[in-house]
Amino acid sequence: MAERPVFIPSVDTPGFVKVVSFGIPWASGFAPVQKQKNVKSLHAAAAAGGYAPLLEISTKSEEKAGRHLSAFHLKVQSQLGEIPLENAFQGSKVFEHGGPYTDLYLTDPRSAKRDPRLQESGRLVAFEFEGSEFPLQPTTVFYDWLYLNAIFPHRAWLKDRIDGQVKYAGFTDIEFNPNKSVNCQARSCALFVALMRANLLEKVMTSAETFLKTMTEQSRRRAVRVEHSGQLHF
């Protein structure tokens, strides 16, 4: 068994995203078919809890929109042109004893993530990108900013695909383990949809400062509550 989250766009929830976790039987292995079994189990558990339909946001998604929204495919506009989201995230880290290592913007994503300086520069203290500084709180605010910037130019296409005739109740990323990671592309996608539904998307995307101010005020209202469902047995 394993517990995995579903991210629900919620205009009334602090941070705009409600997180609901479900216990599911876990199919181990790295084959795509095993990953898709887990996706189906999670979506079935969520549907039993009243959350359907859902969209898997990853390269393992069976939906075109879900694959296109995977951070693996996304690029962020910068002063150097378009760069992979992963490079922007890793190269913008500021540590006690170094960074940001902006040369990582121009390498490949795998090399950027594995650069030894990211482990040898002490404690992470902030992020800095394109002249804007992001603190470590709210915890996902910088990753969210990058993700939203990458998909914002495609908002009309996205509104039609994920909030039009098919209005998704939530989003998942079967690769995301909340015990090992903080940032999640499915969470960022849920935030995008919530901001769109609240008619705040255009406003918050005017600048990094506006986005940070909005998300900080939202997160201070109270911590996002994580609900745990009962385990689903097959």
Per-residue pLDDT band at 30 (split at 50, 70, 90): confident
CA distance 79 to 117: 23
pTM value is 0.91
Burial 92-108, CB ≥16 within 10 A → b, else e = bbbbeeebbbbebbebe
- Range of lowest pLDDT (9-13, 147-151, 228-232): 228-232
Residue 224 has pLDDT above 50, yes or no: no
Q: Is the dihedral of CA 44, 48, 53, 58 positive or negative?
A: negative
Residue 232 has pLDDT above 50, yes or no: no
Give Cα 82 distance to the centre of its chain. 19
Mean pLDDT of the chain: 92
Q: Tell me what the mean pLDDT of segment 175-184 comes to.
A: 94
Residue 233 has pLDDT above 70, yes or no: no
The CA-atom distances, in angstroms, between 192 and each of 34, 149, 154, 158, 197 are 29, 10, 12, 10, 9
R_g of the chain computed on alpha carbons = 18
Choose between 73 and 170: higher pLDDT: 170
> Percent of the chain scored above 70 by pLDDT?
94
Choose between 14 and 5: higher pLDDT: 5
Q: Is the dihedral of CA 108, 113, 116, 117 positive or negative?
A: positive
pLDDT of residue 29: 87
Residue 115 has pLDDT above 50, yes or no: yes
Contact 6, 171 (CB under 8 A): yes
Per-residue pLDDT band at 194 (split at 50, 70, 90): very high
Q: Tell me what the mean pLDDT of segment 129-148 comes to.
A: 96
Residue 144 has pLDDT above 70, yes or no: yes
Residue-wise pLDDT tens digits, 34-43: 999 999 999 9
Q: Tell me what the mean pLDDT of segment 12-36 comes to.
A: 92
Per-residue pLDDT band at 230 (split at 50, 70, 90): low
CA distance 19 to 140: 14
CA distance 106 to 88: 9
Residue-wise pLDDT tens digits, 58-73: 998 999 999 999 998 8
CA distance 189 to 170: 9
Hey, which residues does 177 pair with through a beta bridge?
Answer: none
